[in-house]
Amino acid sequence: MKRLIINKIALSLSVLSALIGLVFLAWILVTLFSKGINSLSFSLFTQDLINGGLRNLIFGQFLMALIATIIGVPLGMMAGIYLREYGHGKYANIIRDLSDIMMSAPSIIIGSFVFVLIVEPFGSINGWAGSIALTIMLIPIVVSTTDNMLSLVPKELREAGIALGGGKHQVILSIILKAARVGLMTGILLGFARIIGETAPLLFTSGTNSFWTTDLNNAFPSLTVSIYNLANFPTDKARDLAWAASFILTMIVLFINIVGRFFTRDKG
């Protein structure tokens, strides 16, 4: 009897804590939606920050994340291919471990590294520095995805490819990557969703910019950095804009996540 009572109490505590957690998280989402939708208007997408819109910020954030993806995905994938297909020794294991650590390293540290590496020599904050900071964040994510997804490809496929007379690189490029493409796509999408929401690595690398610009050599518009500035600005108008921006950012991140998960579920 005592056992059953203890069981009841423990399980109730567990359910209760789950409820508390979910209530907090629901509260955040509800706030975000109600504040965000109220502040949302069409002109946000046609005006730049200087005129009270978000157009340049959304564009800037996307562009920097896109450049990071274009640079980071091939590098990360090649590194992942090395780890899974070529390196079987100690060296590959060390790289794998370090990449794992880098994936969780504080993003503000990446920002200060890029500050020394690019911003200081260059003389001012600029869009390239922001993109590079995001690239450094993305690479370990792509490495780990590639490494994991390639490990799921059955050995028989590799053997069959080699039996057909293909070189190892041909087998990798035309058979293995194809077999793993759904998982790789998902991983890259989730990685993109992760870096597009980053603020800390952009604060003193790209900064932000109120005006429309496509010049990556200047301070570059960033949605997240502007949210930080706007939220600390003591007017209601700025705060509403910050909520609208947060709402749009969250929608983008959640959308990409859901699309990514949909792909993997499709496969089984």
Least Cα distance to 65 among 201, 211, 233 occurs for 201
Nearer to another protein, 21 or 46 (CB): 21
Per CB under 8 A, 250 contacts another protein:
yes
- Interaction residues for another protein, span 108-137 (CB under 8 A): 108-113, 115-117, 136
Q: Which two tokens stand for residue 234?
A: 């003591």
Which x/- pattern, by CB under 8 A, does the window 57-76 give for another protein?
-----------------xxx
Phi/psi of residue 124, each to 5°?
-155, 165
Q: Are 225 and 207 in contact (CB under 8 A)?
A: yes
Residue type, 50: I
Per CB under 8 A, 16 contacts another protein:
yes
Per CB under 8 A, 104 contacts another protein:
yes
Task: Give the nearest distance from C-beta 240 to another protein in angstroms.
Answer: 11
**Residue from the set 47, 199, 218, 264 that interacts with another protein by CB under 8 A:** 199
- Interaction residues for another protein, span 157-196 (CB under 8 A): 167-169, 172, 190, 193-194
Per CB under 8 A, 50 contacts another protein:
no
Q: Are 114 and 184 in contact (CB under 8 A)?
A: no
Task: Give the nearest distance from C-beta 224 to another protein in angstroms.
Answer: 6
Residue type, 180: A
Per CB under 8 A, 86 contacts another protein:
yes
Task: Give the nearest distance from C-beta 79 to another protein in angstroms.
Answer: 4
Task: Give the nearest distance from C-beta 55 to another protein in angstroms.
Answer: 20
Q: Report in angstroms the alpha-carbon separations of 155 from 79, 105, 180, 257.
A: 20, 33, 13, 30
Q: Where are the beta strands (DSSP E) in 61-210?
A: none
Task: Kindly indicate which of the ranges 49-57, 101-109, 154-162, 175-183 contains the residues binding another protein, using the contact rule CB under 8 A.
Answer: 101-109
State which H helix or E strand residue 250 sits in: helix 236-267
Phi/psi of residue 72, each to 5°?
-75, -35
Q: Are 126 and 220 in contact (CB under 8 A)?
A: yes
